[in-house]
């Protein structure tokens, strides 16, 4: 899959950096030892939306479920924007970690 479409050039660059770095580590969706803080750095502070989009791609859900990629991207970004970055625990990095860990179970 070519991945999600972005209007923001910084986000598309971050997405491709994340894909490249994750490819170097292997199938991260199934890796319990994956360090979510790496995705925070690779994604310029947008770990939840990046992890969500990458997992959707890895499971081929946009095609299998006929999901509109633009709407899914917007949804994930809105969810991430709803987190309070000042919260030291329940923030978007924690949300990305929970999302990735859940993917290891399915």
Dump pLDDT digits (tens) for 61-96. Answer: 989 999 888 899 889 999 999 999 899 999 999 999
- Is pLDDT of 4 > 60? no
Say what the pLDDT of residue 15 is. 78
Residue 5 has pLDDT above 60, yes or no: no
Task: Record the tokens describing residue 72, joined without a space.
Answer: 């899914």
Three-state DSSP at 91 gives: coil
Whole-structure pTM value? 0.80
Cβ neighbours for 104, distance < 8 A, ≥ 6 positions apart: 29, 30, 31, 32
pLDDT at 18: 80
């Amino acid at each position: 899959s070519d991945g999600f479409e972005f209007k923001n050039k910084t986000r598309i660059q971050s997405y491709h950096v994340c894909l490249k770095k994750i490819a170097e580590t292997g199938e991260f969706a199934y890796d319990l030892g994956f360090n979510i803080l790496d995705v925070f750095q690779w994604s310029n502070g947008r770990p939840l939306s990046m992890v969500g989009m990458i997992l959707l791609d890895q499971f081929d859900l946009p095609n299998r479920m006929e999901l509109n990629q633009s709407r899914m991207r917007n949804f994930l970004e809105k969810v991430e924007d709803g987190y309070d970055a000042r919260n030291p625990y329940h923030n978007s990095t924690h949300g990305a970690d929970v999302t990735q860990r859940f993917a290891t179970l399915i």
